[in-house]
A = this chain, B = another copy of it.
Amino acid sequence: MSERMADKIRAKLEEMIVTGEFSDGERLDEIRLADSFDVSRTPLREAFQQLAASGLLVLEARRGAFVRQPAFEEMIEMFEVMAELEAMCGRLAARRVSEPVLDAIRETVLACEEAVNRGEADAYYAENEHFHHLIYDASGNHFLAEEARRLHRRLQPFRRMQLQLRGRMAQSLGEHRAILEALENGDEASAATVLRDHVAVQGGKFNDLMVSYRRSQLHQKAR
């Protein structure tokens, strides 16, 4: 048990919130939660602080911790910002990327290709992560890379959902190829545009997913 308890709890709570275990606005009872994790309130409260910082909770003074399920509109907003951050990474990377890093990016594209051929969504997902992180770093702006990572992480579960959509993996792969090409050509404008669209399409796909999800919800209620 080398890790800090508070960090494990944060990770677990993060997953629970993101997977919809709690509903929006729900108050988290410190004592009951602490008991369920078999810890005292102290590490739990530290986890609360961290979750509040990343926007998953809001702490109201002397009122408690309330889960903040980003509404549909906010998710779209987040994708919009993510698209712009990725575009910026792409623009800078097109100018600054080195040959070894370019090689690494090429490898991830190949690995993505294999994953698509085998229909392995998990493998694709992992390589996709790698691909994007490489570009963040290639921007040469470390602060930007960190911000991008932070937001990427927050949108992670929604990205993952999308790979379930028919044909999305192949489409995504094609976009990766276009991004790689722009980087190889040092074409800043193109790299920015293609990356922006690559992420924006995810926002759109997310929209589609939500619509069909809500329809099924309505269906259930209408029974």
Contacts and interface: CB of A to CB of B under 8 A. Distances in A.
Contacts of A166: none
Interface string A49-64: 1100110000001100
Interface stretch (A26-34, A100-108, A126-134, A142-150): A142-150
Chain A interface mostly helix, strand, loop or mixed? helix
Contacts of A77: 141-144
Q: How many copies does the complex hold?
A: 2
Interface residues of A, number: 26
Nearest to A61: B4
A205 interface: no
A3 B143 contact: no
18 contacts: A4-B61, A45-B46, A46-B49, A49-B49, A49-B50, A49-B53, A53-B54, A74-B142, A77-B141, A77-B144, A80-B141, A80-B143, A81-B88, A81-B141, A81-B143, A81-B144, A81-B147, A84-B88
